[in-house]
Amino acid sequence: MTHSQHIKQSNVSTMMDKATLRRLIGEMFRELRDNAINGLGDKARYLKWNSKPGSNNEEDSFNLTQMVTDYGVNGGLPEDKWDDSVLEKLYRGLADSRVEVEILREDSASSKHSSLAPNGKNPRVHDILRDRLLQTIEKATGRPIISSRSSKIADPRRSDPRPPNSYRWQFSKQYPSFPTTKGGISRWPAEHIRQCHEALDKGFLVAVDLATNPAKDKPSTSHQNNFNKRGDTDERQHGQDEHLDERIEIGEEEEEAEHDQQHERDESNEIIQESDEALPESDLDDDTLPCPPNNTAESTNHVNVDPGLLLSRNPFKEELEDFDVESTNTFGLKRFLVDFHHRMYEDTLHMALKKYAEELKWKWKVGYTAKKQELRSEIDSLNARLETKILEVEEAQREIARLDSERASLVEQLSKTDDESTIKLDKAREAGEELGRRKAMDDVNTAMESDLLALRRSNLEQISKVRAESYKEGFEAGRKAALQTTSTENAALHKLPRTSDDSRPTSPALNQSNRNSVDIQALMKEFEEERISTLELGRRQGRETAYQELALSEGNRVNVLVKNDSGLNKNRKRTQNHSTELGRHPSDRASCLHAP
């Protein structure tokens, strides 16, 4: 979960200290920066921060300074000089997604500096140079400049060898120092601005990081001391002159004293200019430089020197006691006091700086030791957490391996179950098909047997009917023939003589009856043969129909059954017709039987 999603609350006070708020804002800015440069690599070198106005609350609206910063440093935000109200508004703006970042190329970044005015107008020439000097320092040190005076922007011309800035300017023969024009960069003419840009472009003016190069700190420190000494000398000379004017009765020698004062100022300026030419210059604006102390007590308090330091060591005390004020003139007294005060202030300043350096060194060692212990404790805690995480990862890996083995066994069981199910399904399908075939054959056999039974019953009825009719007709014909024969024989007997019984002729009616019996037996035999052939034919057709039904689809099976049924009906009709023909007149049957 990102910081913006985790702490997104609009129009609500954060209720947290400034350090925590600054840390959260820094993390949110780094998140936006990382999302913006993700996948771009070295193509995206600079970022530009933009802000949107608040939609419903004018109090939450703010003007975020449009800054162009090397993303390799830290994004440049938030600045230490921002107060709590600005941080609160910036935090709410980040939570409401009203702060955006824009990717700039390295060539276009120089034309879009962070010195744009809040109203969106184009920056001035000296502002562009100031921003470029600040960017040069930040690129060299890898960290933003922290101004000692939060109400004003840090002067980039000043070398700051002390932490947290720890940098100084390194000049060259082509560009020996910054211009000595008073009033800061805003008072520089166009030619000086152009020369400074050219020196930065060609590498004649370089910022040195003293945190990584502590050996280069001495020139910058001595140069800064001479720079401070120049301002101290001017005001010290002015204060001394006023003090002397109050103590000395000038009278007629007033003009001479003023002439001497001007002469000493000129000599001091010449000395300062010579020292400035020998060392790199770091001139500051009048409104950004701290005022030098007016006396020794103020100077010692300014550099945090113990007041007992002056009491413990005063090398000029005996010199003041031995000095005869009455034996010297005004000029000599003035000269002596100026030299004495200058040497005393210089010696005191050196002692104070030495003690202050020792205090800073001791504080740095204490802070370094504490930070080192803190980092070691953090490293130990991180190592413990890392070991815990490693154990958790190993446990998770073992759990994953166990789950993988269980999954493999389940997959194997599933495959076996699928195979068994397939085998059972095939067996069930075969059993169903066999049962279907048997049922179809049973149905066909039942239908054929019922049809054959009906056909047999009809044939038997026809045969019985034909037999009865034939018997009746034969009986009637035989009786008639017998009567006629009897009458004829009787008449012949009356006419012919009697003979023995063995010589009596056979009756024609008896012969006809014998022939009818033979015909009936032949018909019954033929009918039995036809019945057997018809039964065999029906069985054969039933088997063929069953086989075809098993080999065909549902619709084709019905068609074949209908076709076979129609064939059976035709056979039945043909049998009935044949039986009808058998029931005709005996002479016709006899002619049919004896026909070739």
Residue 146 and residue 82 in contact, taking contact as beta carbons nearer than 8 Å = no
99 phi and psi, to 5 degrees?
-115, 125
pLDDT value at residue 216: 52
Distances (CA, A) of 38 to 42, 56, 103, 106, 580: 10, 32, 11, 17, 107
DSSP class of residue 70 equals E
pLDDT value at residue 310: 42
Establish whether the linkage from the previous residue to 189 is cis, with ω within 30° of 0: no
What single letter denotes the amino acid at residue 129? L
Q: Report the C-alpha gap between 310 and 430 in whole angstroms.
A: 120
First to last CA, the chain: 113
Most confident of 332-336, 380-384, 467-471: 380-384
SS3 content of the chain, % helix, strand, coil (to 5): 70, 5, 25
Residue 237 and residue 265 in contact, taking contact as beta carbons nearer than 8 Å = yes
Candidates 170, 157, 280, 262; CA nearest to 223 is: 280
Q: Which tokens hold the place of 518?
A: 């033979």
| More confident call, 63 vs 130 | 130
Whether 292 shows a pLDDT value over 70: the answer reads no
pLDDT in tens, 399-438: 999 999 999 999 999 999 999 999 999 999 999 999 988 8
Residue 475 and residue 516 in contact, taking contact as beta carbons nearer than 8 Å = no
Locus of tokens 């009048």: 286
Which neighbouring-strand residues pair with 168?
208
Grade residue 77 by pLDDT with cuts at 50, 70 and 90: low
pLDDT value at residue 509: 54
Whether 262 shows a pLDDT value over 90: the answer reads no
Report the mean per-residue pLDDT for the chain. 68
pLDDT in tens, 497-515: 554 444 455 555 556 667 7
Grade residue 382 by pLDDT with cuts at 50, 70 and 90: very high
Residue 229 has a CB neighbour count (10 Å cut-off) of 20
What single letter denotes the amino acid at residue 272? I
Q: Report the C-alpha gap between 281 and 226 in whole angstroms.
A: 9
pLDDT in tens, 533-587: 877 877 777 777 666 656 655 555 555 555 655 665 666 666 566 555 544 444 4
Nearby residues of 144 by Cβ (< 8 Å), 6 or more positions away: 73, 74, 76, 79, 80, 138
Nearby residues of 44 by Cβ (< 8 Å), 6 or more positions away: 36, 37, 71, 103, 104, 105
Greatest Cα pair distance, the chain, in angstroms, is: 237
Percent of the chain with pLDDT over 90: 11
Beta strands in 191-238 (DSSP E): 206-209
pLDDT value at residue 364: 87
pLDDT in tens, 130-144: 889 998 998 888 888
Q: Are strands 46-51 and 167-170 parallel, antiparallel or unpaired?
A: unpaired
169 phi and psi, to 5 degrees?
-90, 140
Q: Are strands 46-51 and 68-70 parallel, antiparallel or unpaired?
A: antiparallel
Distances (CA, A) of 125 to 196, 197, 347: 12, 11, 43
DSSP class of residue 97 equals T
Percent of the chain with pLDDT over 70: 53
CA 371 to chain centre: 37
Q: Where are the domains of the chain?
A: 1-123, 415-484+511-594
358-363-366-368 Cα dihedral, nearest 10 degrees: -100
Q: H/E/C letters for each residue in 114-179?
A: CCCCCCCCCCCHHHHHHHHHHHHHHHHHCCCCCCCCCCCCCCCCCCECCCCCCEEEECCCCCCCCC
Most confident of 106-115, 273-282, 494-503: 494-503
Q: Which tokens hold the place of 400?
A: 């994953």
Mean pLDDT of 224-231: 43
Q: Classify 576 as helix, strand or coil.
A: helix
Sign of CA dihedral 368, 372, 373, 375: positive
Q: Report the C-alpha gap between 329 and 335 in whole angstroms.
A: 10
pLDDT value at residue 278: 39
| More confident call, 523 vs 379 | 379
Nearby residues of 210 by Cβ (< 8 Å), 6 or more positions away: 161, 166, 167, 168, 216, 217, 220
Sign of CA dihedral 456, 462, 466, 472: positive
Grade residue 223 by pLDDT with cuts at 50, 70 and 90: very low
pLDDT value at residue 186: 83
Residue 504 has a CB neighbour count (10 Å cut-off) of 10
Q: Classify 310 as helix, strand or coil.
A: helix
Residue 345 has a CB neighbour count (10 Å cut-off) of 18
